[in-house]
Amino acid sequence: MQTDLMKRLLSRLLVLPLIILGLRAAETAPPSAPGTPAEIPVEYFFRPPSIRGAALNPAGTHVAMMVADQKRDSTGLMIVNLADNTIGGLRGDTTYDVSAYAWAGDDRVVFSLARDNLYAWGLYAMKRDDSRSIVTLNEHDVVEVLGSPRARPDNLFVWVRRSARDEGRPGRLLELDLRKNSRDHFGHDGINIRGSIAPPPKTEGVLRWWRDREGEIRYALAYQKAQTQLFRRETDGLWTPLALDVERDRPMAVDADAKTLLVAHRNESGACELRRLNTTDGTLSPVLQSDDKYDFSDGGIRISADDREVIGLIYARQAPEQVWIRAEEAALQRELDGALPPDRLNLITSRSRDGQRLLITSSSDRHPGSLYLFDRTTRKLRQLAELASWLPERLMAPVRLMTFKARDGLKLDAYVTLPLGYDPQRPAPMIVLPHGGPWARDVWGYEAVSQFFASRGYIVFRPNYRGSTGYNAEISLTPRMEFRKMHEDVTDGVRALITSKIADPAHIAIVGGSFGGYLAVCGAAFDPGLYRCAVSIAGIFDWERVLREERINNPESFRYESMRRALGDPKVNQDKFEAMSPYLHAASIRIPVFVAHGKADTNADTSQSRRLVKALAKAGVPHEAFFVPDEGHSFGALKDRVELFTRIESFLKKHL
């Protein structure tokens, strides 16, 4: 029997806010189009895209995608039959959303539901052409779908990342039967479990699994405290530990020979090389692809349709880029680039099993993206959808690449968004927008927050400070825990823009979320004369407290042990912790500060922002606080995002 929840969610998706196979919903266009960037409503920048995660089934006959219902602020799943353009799927509601999905063969999808954009509700399977045949695979755990083994296509590997039955601790890797519910009508759990794979012996847990070309679990990166080790799973199910330095040779995929890995190898100069590594004797093949500046270990490997040949890589250089090894694929890329609008990033995001049908996402710094279907047999290209048709490309701001030197001589990249009408002869007010992480990075392309601020007349500066991922060892790996130097890099980039007479030194603000929020408060505390005001969203400001709470909550956690080893003991390194914790320097802040945080944040504890607000009040620092119930680390509800940035816009007008 269907639950009341599933009955509410099941429906045909007939009217959608996107272009799909020639159909357009009336509500995509605003009643009156904005004439200037400043007239674009805040909501337009922070709406979810109409579609995301589009993927072909292996046969290439159907395309699935997650779709946003703008009126309900909910996410559903749509499946389109490319032969006759019929549409089916599942509609979200105001409480439950489809949070992820994956094809499980040609005729079935699996999908996750989330409640209130925060809580894992369940994992389900659905027949492609029958949205009323739902099978419940798992309930309430946070899971990652790894895929089906070829020999058992009705089964699915599912990794329980956080177990609801074990207080959120890591769970098992399960092999589930896609045809059976997880419980029968008597309430017995797990009747669909066909097997499980335990982590390698004498380890606490697994950070990542890899499957071979047959879809079987073949490798695991496991940990014991802060130590990691790679293991190979043999055909008898036993684990073999491998003497592999995963910082130097980072596994990306299993090769056609299951005892060989495709790895991103750091050579002696710190550059990144794609090589084959024989896990039996440790030998490396000749270099397949190399990059002196950029690191592709977090990118993806593209494999030929016959599943044997490496044909390319996709990773971020200045922008996300497909680097083709096979000449035929490079020629195809040139053909697509020539057929689509100029100055676009045209990325192949999904392929059919035979490689003949492709999905392409085409985007730019001023265009959020369009989805196209390309048929290699007929050489025909057709548009399926616009990701944000309500945003006028002509009113979006251009993004320029910038390189600057940090005070110790390290060269770093940054992105500068220039508002329309910017006059190079007149320095303009600027917002510094450091990314979160810190082990993340910015890229060239459309970015909603930057475009919002640019529409209000501000230059936006996004620096990839040291520790940002995607670069060589000198930038990304060696300094990855040097938090105070990351702040100094941001300062050095700002001063470079002032020296170049691009930014008005009297009108600069710093705004950031997560680790970017930390950097925003660092700017206020450690460079009080540089900024007029600061905004922090879901930040962390006291690193000794972070370690203490992590130790109390989970003393055996990999995160705690890694941070303690990298940062040191606060009792022994007190000066270091004081120097990188702006909370302890709140009395030095002389500019207004806006502090926002979701009360349900499980990533950065809300108490960090609450204690900062108290410290600002005690020091007499002008400040505003915005704590939002039922929001996590990222503000998920559209109404909350709109209110947040409406408040920030007002704060900046008042103080900048």
Report CA torsion sign: 486, 488, 494, 496: negative
* Type of residue at 452: F
For residue range 287-345, list pLDDT tens digits in order.
999 999 999 999 999 998 888 899 999 999 999 999 999 999 999 999 999 999 999 99
Whole-number pLDDT of residue 118? 78
C-alpha span between 539 and 512 (Å, rounded) = 8
The pair of structure tokens assigned to 516 is 């970017």
Spacing of C-alpha 153 from chain mean position: 29
pLDDT for 555: 53
Res. 100 pLDDT band, cuts 50 70 90 = very high
> Is the confidence at residue 169, as pLDDT, over 90?
no
Answer whether 399's CB lies under 8 Å from 316's CB. Answer: no
Mean pLDDT across 214-243: 94
Residue 8 confidence class, pLDDT cut points 50, 70, 90: low
Higher-pLDDT residue of 93, 263:
263
Residue that wins the pLDDT comparison between 133 and 517? 517
pLDDT score of 183: 78
DSSP string, 543-610: HHHHHHHHHHH-TT-HHHHHHHHHH--TTTSHHHHHHT-GGGGGGG--S-EEEEEETT-SSS-HHHHH
Q: Which residue has the tokens 């003497």?
A: 243
Task: Kindly list the distances between the CA atom of residue 376 and the CA atoms of 325, 373, 386, 616, in Å, as whole numbers in the listed order.
Answer: 19, 10, 22, 61
Determine the average pLDDT of the residues in 545-564. 77
The CB density around residue 357, as the number of other CB atoms within 10 Å, is 21
Mean pLDDT of the chain: 91
> What's the pLDDT tens digit per position in 405-442?
999 999 999 999 999 999 998 889 999 999 999 999 99
pLDDT, one tens digit per residue, over 569-594 is 888 889 999 999 999 999 999 999 99
What share of the chain has pLDDT > 70, as a percent? 94
Structural domains of the chain sorted by starting position, each given as residue range(s) with its CATH number in brackets: 397-542+583-655 (3.40.50.1820), 543-580 (no CATH)
Nearest to 535 by CA among 438, 439, 653: 653
Indicate if the pLDDT at residue 564 is higher than 90: no
Mean pLDDT value across residues 269-289? 95
Question: Is the four-CA dihedral 22, 27, 33, 36 of positive or negative sign?
Answer: negative
Q: Rounded distance, CA 330 to CA 421, Å?
A: 37
Q: Which amino acid is at 480?
A: R
28 vs 459: CA distance, rounded Å: 29
**Model confidence at 528, in pLDDT bands (50, 70, 90)?**
confident
Q: What is the pLDDT of residue 22?
A: 35
| Two structure tokens written together for 46 | 């922070």
Confidence bin at 21 (pLDDT 50/70/90)? very low
- What is the rounded average pLDDT of the residues 445-469? 97
φ/ψ of 454, rounded to 5, equals -65, -35
State the Cα–Cα distance between residues 4 and 559, nearest whole angstrom. Answer: 39
